[in-house]
Amino acid sequence: MTAQELRRMYAEFFKERGHKEIASASLLPDNDPTVLFTTAGMHPLVPYLLGEKHPLGSKLVNIQKCVRTCDIDEVGDDTHLTFFEMLGNWSLGDYFKEEAISFSFEFLTSKLQIPASKIAVTVFAGDEELPADEEAASIWIKKGLGKNQIFYYGKEENWWGPAGQTGPCGPDTEIFYDMGKEPCSSDCGPACSCGKYVEIWNNVFMQYNKERDGSYHPLPRKNIDTGMGLERILTILDGKDNVYETELFIPVMDRLKFLSQIPYSKDTKGIFRIICEHTRAMTFILGDSKKITPSNTEQGYILRRLIRRTIRLLQKLGIKENILCELSQVILVQYRESYPELKENSRFILEQLNKEYELFQKTLDSGLKKAEQYLSGLKKEETLNGRLAFKLYDTFGFPIEFTMELAKEKGIQIDIQGFYEKLKEHQDKSRKGAEGKFKGGLADSSRQTARLHTATHLLNGALRRILGDSVYQRGSNITSERLRFDFSFERKMTPEELQKVAELVNHAIASNLDVLCEETTPEKARKEGAIGIFDSKYGEKVKVYTIPGYSKEICGGPHAAATGELGHFTIIKEEASSSGVRRIKAILD
């Protein structure tokens, strides 16, 4: 089975069962400021999981592109990836456990022809606060699974959420494929990392709301959120033990072998895998509609890390010339049908890869000189402190492994713990801008959140009126105190421009205009001038929020009923975010 056949089979299976297919959203989540990237299919659906009505109804399905930064250091093994595709289906207050488990079981055993005997599942074991999920277990038994295929675990394994301190949460049932290996011990189970079991699907049952006092109460409207990794299930269907032997990686792997003229062996396997995986990830990040660029903060920081790590590994293979674009083009051809934005943004992708390669090459020589300066002042078996190792990383883009290799040649040690302490401190600072969490996490659809979110619509409209229609939103973030809005613009705004923008927003607020919501087709929304990213397909209907005379946007977040609720709008800062992107921070008094 090909990857495209699997994508279509999954979507059609659920469409035949009343689900509406929705498009893959941006890799930058609009409604979850707790993460840098979209890490699951649920991120674009946060407002709807919290109660908003989705324009396509209560049963949805899609294939969502995702990036998880926590797995970067694991890339190169058989299963972990930075970029991956998640197959997901959702019920927004419609069906619940019986139907969700039945759908999953039927798709795996009937459509994919996976024997029920190869399936193992986990369910919530319960604790002092909440009961065990015997309902899920009994459904699995009805489907034909033996009790020896059902494993009970606590919240660390079988519980989702809330994403913040409060909000929707609940038990889940995870589905694993038994790889046929011998158990590593008498208590070997899906929670074990020995490789006998590989997780392929997770069904989350959002049935509780966690309150501020820590108590749990049943939700009046229960939701289903599921996710299955396309890469992992395809690996299993192909009868492979690692994702790199599937069609998803064979083309770029073959290209790397040809360009490098280096054999794929036990010694080079890990490097080859990381280069190919990172190439796919960086291509998708750069190809996203919001056009992220390499930088030293937030999403750009992760992107730069991926690119520079790849360059270092290419050089470790002895490849001195820039082949990033040639490898990326393999990904562009491979995925252009499934993700048209890659084709439309191909020039931008290749330009950024070339630019970052040249930039790193410039710092490489000066960084090597600085490293030599640091190391030459030490004697053999002495230790380079973590602060200097981090400076090489932060200033010159030297990954710690690169510095360790230079030090090893001179018999010098590296204060690894000190380096990672500085790195964590830097990452924490970098994430603050992108994390700035809603008070109460994803669950906070408070009046203040709605007011600030509505203000971003007015701000976007005002910026386009003052600076021109070339201005587009590139990201936003809301805390309980302020809003942050990123937009495309090449230069610093003048004080006069900022004043005019603030005056326009406040004039709209003073006019106390109704915030109107309409469900319509993407085509009609476009014709009527709504702002939205039209380079990806939408569903049959979208929500369009209109503030007459000021703003018309496709959106799914929480909004105020009228602009008069917003109070007074004040811009507190305008600054650069990344190349070609400016950032405004503002408050409502």
Burial of 348 (0-12, 13-18, 19+ CB in 10 A): middle
- Considering the domain architecture, whether residues 490 and 403 belong to the same structural domain is answered as no
pLDDT at 285: 96
Mean pLDDT for 24-52 is 80
**Domain annotation covers residue 151:** yes
538, pLDDT greater than 70:
no
Strand locations in 2-58 (E) = 20-21
Task: Return the CATH number at 582.
Answer: 3.30.980.10
Exposed e or buried b per residue across 252-286, where buried means at least 16 C-beta atoms within 10 angstroms of its C-beta: bbebbeeebebebeeebeebbbbbbbbbbbbbbbb
Q: What is the pLDDT of residues 379-434, one digit of tens each?
A: 887 899 899 999 888 778 777 877 887 898 889 999 999 998 888 887 665 445 33
Nearest-angstrom CA–CA distance, 461 and 290: 18
pLDDT at 67: 93
442, pLDDT greater than 50:
no
**101: enclosing H helix or E strand:** helix 97-106
Last residue of a domain, one of 240, 273, 290: 240
pLDDT at 433: 39
Contact indicator for 415, 389 with CB cutoff of 8 Å: yes
- Considering the domain architecture, whether residues 386 and 261 belong to the same structural domain is answered as yes
**Domain annotation covers residue 352:** yes
Say which DSSP state 81 is in. -
- Considering the domain architecture, whether residues 221 and 260 belong to the same structural domain is answered as no
**Domain annotation covers residue 439:** no
**Domain annotation covers residue 157:** yes
pLDDT at 434: 39
Contact indicator for 447, 498 with CB cutoff of 8 Å: no
pLDDT at 34: 64
- Considering the domain architecture, whether residues 182 and 298 belong to the same structural domain is answered as no
Mean pLDDT for 461-484 is 87
**pLDDT > 90: what percent of the chain?**
56
pLDDT at 50: 77
- Considering the domain architecture, whether residues 424 and 549 belong to the same structural domain is answered as no
Of 15, 5, 2, 27, give the one whose Cα is nearest residue 475. 27
3-state SS class at 17: coil
Token representation of residue 583: 């950032």
Last residue of a domain, one of 374, 409, 434: 434
pLDDT at 493: 95
What's the first-to-final CA gap in the chain, in angstroms? Answer: 57
Instruction: Determine whether the annotation assigns residue 457 to a binding site.
Output: yes
pLDDT at 441: 30
Mean pLDDT for 474-501 is 88
Mean pLDDT for 13-34 is 86
535, pLDDT greater than 50:
no
pLDDT at 163: 59
Instruction: Determine whether the annotation assigns residue 555 to a binding site.
Output: yes
Mean pLDDT for 460-487 is 87
- Considering the domain architecture, whether residues 429 and 451 belong to the same structural domain is answered as no
- Considering the domain architecture, whether residues 142 and 52 belong to the same structural domain is answered as yes
Higher-confidence residue: 366 or 132?
132
Contact indicator for 290, 26 with CB cutoff of 8 Å: yes
pLDDT at 80: 85
pLDDT at 98: 97
Last residue of a domain, one of 223, 240, 257: 240
Contact indicator for 6, 230 with CB cutoff of 8 Å: yes
- Considering the domain architecture, whether residues 197 and 144 belong to the same structural domain is answered as yes
pLDDT at 584: 95
As for how many domains the chain has, the answer is 3
- Considering the domain architecture, whether residues 421 and 497 belong to the same structural domain is answered as no
**Least reliable range by pLDDT among 118-132, 277-291, 349-363, 383-397:** 383-397
569, pLDDT greater than 90:
yes
Higher-confidence residue: 431 or 149?
149
**Domain annotation covers residue 440:** no
Mean pLDDT for 357-368 is 83
Q: What is the pLDDT of residues 238-259, one digit of tens each?
A: 999 899 999 999 999 999 999 9
**Domain annotation covers residue 370:** yes
Task: Return the CATH number at 68.
Answer: 3.30.930.10
Upstream peptide bond of 183 is cis (omega within 30 degrees of 0): no
pLDDT at 31: 56
Q: Write phi, then psi, for 483 (nearest 5 degrees).
A: -115, 150
Nearest-angstrom CA–CA distance, 85 and 338: 11
Question: How would residue 537 be classed by pLDDT, with cut points 50, 70 and 90?
Answer: low
pLDDT at 428: 66
Of 416, 26, 48, give the one whose Cα is nearest residue 223. 48
Instruction: Determine whether the annotation assigns residue 453 to a binding site.
Output: yes
- Considering the domain architecture, whether residues 455 and 532 belong to the same structural domain is answered as yes
pLDDT at 74: 83
pLDDT at 32: 57
Higher-confidence residue: 278 or 385?
278
Mean pLDDT for 333-337 is 93
478, pLDDT greater than 70:
yes
**Domain annotation covers residue 283:** yes
Single-letter residue type at 445: S
Higher-confidence residue: 166 or 404?
404
- Considering the domain architecture, whether residues 236 and 255 belong to the same structural domain is answered as no
**Domain annotation covers residue 70:** yes
Residues linked to residue 154 through DSSP beta bridges, in sequence order: none
**Least reliable range by pLDDT among 264-273, 379-388, 534-543:** 534-543
- Residue span of the structural domain in which 548 resides: 446-588
Instruction: Determine whether the annotation assigns residue 559 to a binding site.
Output: yes
**Least reliable range by pLDDT among 89-93, 144-148, 307-311:** 307-311
Nearest-angstrom CA–CA distance, 242 and 80: 9
> CA of 43: how far to CAs of 24, 31, 59, 137, 556, in Å?
11, 7, 16, 27, 12
- Considering the domain architecture, whether residues 420 and 451 belong to the same structural domain is answered as no
